[in-house]
Amino acid sequence: MTVRSQVPRPRDDNPISTVTEPELLGPQAVRGGHSGGCGDLAKFHVPEVVFGPGALAELGHCARRLGARRPFLVTDGGLTEARWVREAEGHLQDVGLAAVVWDQVTPNPKDHEIEAAHRRYADSGADVIIGVGGGSVIDAAKGVAILSGNGGRILDYEGVDQVVHPIPPLVMAPSTSGTGADVSQFAIVTDTAAATKITILSRTLVPEISVVDPRLLITMPDWLNAATGLDALTHAIESYVSRARSTLTDQHSLHAAGLISGNLARTLFRPTEAAPRVAMAQGALEAGMAFTNAILGATHAMSHQVGGLLDAPHGVINGVLLPHVIRFNAETDAARYVPLAEAVGVDTAALSAEEAALQLADRVRELADVVGVPKSLRSLGVSDVDVPVLTRNTLKDACLTTNPREATAADISRLFRAAL
């Protein structure tokens, strides 16, 4: 088995930690382990990125550079039907590689699917793992890698830094413009017995290479295009206000928010136009680069639970919840939302910070309306009786840790009920 060449990271490398110390400049800052200026030590971990129309042609070379001899290609039936899997296999064959293909992934990847894929991986003697597909495919591919290097069951790895042994190299080619899974340290898995989603957070899960080819976005159905686009917008907004944000993530968050808000609707109404697709691919990429380092917030912590309960599209749930969370967070600190409001086109010159934040929330809801996302969780199948269990599970989600405002069980419950 081929494994990553990097030195394993110390176990105290907490991906959601930040260091805040008195301001230091000069050599003493280096000796003390502090950055100059703001005093925050920022980490920024992203893959190598191959970006642009036609980038999929580089897939074979990418796998070869990582030492592949028998790559394991994880995908789904939709990508097979759209012929992207055939093209990917062809590019691997061009460099002498015959892939083992696993295309049994379903939306919101299930624990048993990942474990079945891992058994096939182990039996085939495969090495480098390639994901060609959306976030579900990429999360499943990461799950196979976790089990290959660490054993056990995939649910054993819930939480932060539970993946302690090296895993096989990962190459990801996203087919949606939104999840950011191709550059992130997250894997989201459905616990089918508990009807919830678990979050696995580890820097080992950041792929070696992300191959972003905007051509793959053209075959998304409209509902998936809308859902993943709103997911990417949520990544941009939540990463910008996250407690773990830094100057290295801020610019990616803001630029992504502008690209996504300005181009998502255009991709629905002009699906084959190149420029909006390229812009959405870049927006999703930048939002992913931001949130994998800054982490997220209450919207994602809540959305994971609804998705696990209903097996509903993650981005659609985000589109319902995000305006409510923006308003909740802005009650205690609205200032961070002002640059975001400006990025999505709100004229903030005559507005207070609170007014700008509320207009941002309204603008998110307006975009969700344009792309056809329901206004309420109830329309997705959530009922009042579900709120207590959704609340309890939200409080355990790692994404809540970096929400800018502390949220109690009562707060989360009120947010769910407001979104009903």
Antiparallel, parallel or unpaired: β 209-212 and 196-201: unpaired
CA torsion 40→45→48→50, rounded to 10°? -80
Q: Average pLDDT for residues 104-125, to the nearest whole number?
A: 96
Cβ-contact 395, 409 below 8 angstroms: yes
Percentage of residues in the chain having pLDDT higher than 70: 90
Instruction: List pLDDT tens digits, range 170-191.
Output: 999 999 998 999 999 999 999 9
Percentage of residues in the chain having pLDDT higher than 90: 87
Q: Which contacts qualify for 12-15: CB closer than 8 Å, 24 or more apart?
A: 13/161, 13/203, 14/160, 14/161, 15/43, 15/160, 15/161, 15/185, 15/201, 15/202, 15/203, 15/295
Averaged confidence pLDDT in the chain: 91
Cβ-contact 200, 189 below 8 angstroms: yes
Exposure class string for 225-235: b at 16+ Cβ within 10 A, else e: bbbbbbbbbbb
What does the pLDDT read at residue 312?
87
On the question of pLDDT at 15 being above 60, the answer is no
48-216 adopts what CATH topology?
Rossmann fold (3.40.50)
- Fold: same for 48-216 and 221-419: no
Q: Average pLDDT for residues 379-383, to the nearest whole number?
A: 95
On the question of pLDDT at 253 being above 60, the answer is yes
What does the pLDDT read at residue 41?
79
- The amino acid occupying position 95 is V
The tokens describing 341, both together, are: 């409001």
What does the pLDDT read at residue 40?
64
CB count in 10 Å sphere of residue 396 = 15
Instruction: List pLDDT tens digits, range 232-252.
Output: 999 999 999 999 999 999 999
In the chain, where the domains are located: 48-216, 221-419
Q: How far is residue 312's CA from residue 310's CA, in Å, rounded to a whole number?
A: 5
CA 311 to chain centre: 17
Q: Average pLDDT for residues 209-229, to the nearest whole number?
A: 96
On the question of pLDDT at 269 being above 70, the answer is yes
Q: Average pLDDT for residues 3-9, to the nearest whole number?
A: 36
Q: Which contacts qualify for 407-415: CB closer than 8 Å, 24 or more apart?
A: 407/298, 407/328, 411/328, 412/298, 412/302, 413/387, 413/388, 415/298, 415/302, 415/321, 415/324, 415/325, 415/328
For residue 311, name the pLDDT band (cuts at 50, 70, 90).
confident
The tokens describing 248, both together, are: 């290295």
On the question of pLDDT at 38 being above 70, the answer is no
Range from 10-14, 48-52, 93-97, 266-270 carrying the lowest mean pLDDT? 10-14
In terms of DSSP H, where are the helices of 96-215? 111-124, 135-150
What does the pLDDT read at residue 43?
84
Q: How far is residue 327's CA from residue 365's CA, in Å, rounded to a whole number?
A: 12
On the question of pLDDT at 2 being above 60, the answer is no
Q: Average pLDDT for residues 64-81, to the nearest whole number?
A: 97
Q: Which contacts qualify for 81-89: CB closer than 8 Å, 24 or more apart?
A: 82/219, 84/56, 84/132, 84/175, 84/216, 84/219, 85/132, 87/56, 88/56, 88/59, 88/130, 88/132, 88/173
Q: How far is residue 159's CA from residue 399's CA, in Å, rounded to a whole number?
A: 10
On the question of pLDDT at 383 being above 80, the answer is yes
- The residues pairing with 131 across neighbouring beta strands, listed in sequence order, are 74, 172
What does the pLDDT read at residue 20?
35
3-class DSSP state of 3: coil
What does the pLDDT read at residue 14?
39
What does the pLDDT read at residue 292?
95
Range from 18-32, 271-285, 288-302, 322-336 carrying the lowest mean pLDDT? 18-32
DSSP state of 110: B
On the question of pLDDT at 24 being above 70, the answer is no
What does the pLDDT read at residue 42?
82
Instruction: List pLDDT tens digits, range 333-356.
Output: 999 999 999 999 999 999 999 999
Choose the CATH number for 221-419 among 1.20.1090.10, 3.40.50.970, 3.30.499.10, 2.50.20.10: 1.20.1090.10
- The residues pairing with 100 across neighbouring beta strands, listed in sequence order, are 72
